[in-house]
């Protein structure tokens, strides 16, 4: 039985032995993927990253699950404000594939929960087509969830709007996330699922075409 969670459990602050013990109890790793992009002149460039890091910590604490260091760059439109930086879709896809492979083969992780707060189609495609040997991968796009009943202006744009801006908005994310995986049943090994009305991609074994 899993010991009582008192996390969060960030692997960058843990010893290999402590990580091994936690994985024996639950072989799951939460991987937050943020961005460094503008959200208007009133918000920090790391707004998406702050959201997913908060969620990752809350989920790690609630479920006793390990949490990976945040990937702070994603795929989005060219920066219109100083400081923003983006990756190409294939670059993010390759980085994520190599990281997931390292954790799957080297640490024995069997379930990955990827949290992101970026609705770019190319960004989500890069994450949803990650390949594994045996592990399941769940990609959760936070902003695809319905927060309408918790907002003063439900129809307002997300980027730079109420959900991005407010401290209560970040807490809203955290409350909603407690109902999300890793508490849910994982998908079949080797498959990925995207949450928020996005389709399930086909199984894509390493080194092979989709089947």
Per-residue pLDDT of 54-67, as tens digits, reads: 999 999 999 999 99
The most confident of the ranges 78-82, 129-133, 170-174, 204-208 is 129-133
For residue 37, pLDDT beyond 50: yes
> Is 138 exposed, middle or buried (CB count within 10 Å of its CB: 0-12, 13-18, 19+)?
buried
Q: pLDDT digits over 143-189, tens only? A: 776 655 655 655 555 555 545 555 434 544 444 444 444 444 433 33
Give residue 195's pLDDT band: very low, low, confident or very high (50, 70, 90).
very low
* Within a domain: 207: no
Residue-range definition of the domain harbouring residue 28: 9-195
pLDDT computed for residue 208 by the predictor: 44
Q: State the pLDDT at residue 96.
A: 97
Residue 34 contacts residue 72 (beta carbons within 8 Å): yes
Residue 140, both tokens:
């959760």
Given a cut of 70, whether residue 14 has pLDDT beyond it is: yes
Position 143 in a domain: yes
What pLDDT is stored for residue 100 in this prediction?
97
Specify if 43 maps to a domain.
yes
Number of neighbouring beta carbons within 10 Å of residue 144: 16
Structure tokens at 48: 């998406």
- Give CA angle at 198 (160, 35), nearest 5°: 35
| Residue 134 included in any domain | yes
The pLDDT assigned to 146 comes to: 61
Residue 210 confidence (pLDDT) above 80: no
188 vs 192: CA distance, rounded Å: 8
Residue 108 falls inside a structural domain: yes
204 occurs within a structural domain:
no
pLDDT of residue 173: 46
In a domain, 176, yes or no: yes
Number of domains in the chain: 1
User: Which SS3 state, helix, strand or coil, does residue 127 take?
Assistant: helix
User: CATH number for the domain including 145?
Assistant: 3.40.50.10310
Task: Give the model confidence (pLDDT) of 65-124 as tens digits.
Answer: 999 999 999 998 876 678 889 999 999 999 999 999 999 999 999 999 999 988 889 999
Q: Tell me whether residue 92 is in a domain.
A: yes
Give the model's pLDDT for residue 148.
55
Cα(76)–Cα(87) distance, rounded to whole angstroms? 8
């Amino acid at each position: 039985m899993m010991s009582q969670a008192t996390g969060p459990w960030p692997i960058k602050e843990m010893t290999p032995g402590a990580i091994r013990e936690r994985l024996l109890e639950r072989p799951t790793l939460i991987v937050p993927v943020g961005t460094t992009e503008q959200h208007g002149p009133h918000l920090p460039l790391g707004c998406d990253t702050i959201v997913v890091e908060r969620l990752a910590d809350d989920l790690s604490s609630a479920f006793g699950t390990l949490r990976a260091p945040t990937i702070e760059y994603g795929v989005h439109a060219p920066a219109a404000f100083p400081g923003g930086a983006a990756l190409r879709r294939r670059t993010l896809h390759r980085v994520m594939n190599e990281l997931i492979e390292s954790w799957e083969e080297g640490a024995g992780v069997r379930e990955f929960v990827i949290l992101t707060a970026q609705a770019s189609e190319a960004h989500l495609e890069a994450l949803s087509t990650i390949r594994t040997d045996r592990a399941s991968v769940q990609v959760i796009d936070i902003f695809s969830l319905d927060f309408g009943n918790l907002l003063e202006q439900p129809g307002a744009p997300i980027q730079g709007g109420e959900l991005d801006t407010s401290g209560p908005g970040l807490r809203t994310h955290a409350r909603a996330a407690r109902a999300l995986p890793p508490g849910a049943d994982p998908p079949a090994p080797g498959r990925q699922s995207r949450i928020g009305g996005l389709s399930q991609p086909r199984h894509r074994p390493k080194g092979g075409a989709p089947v």
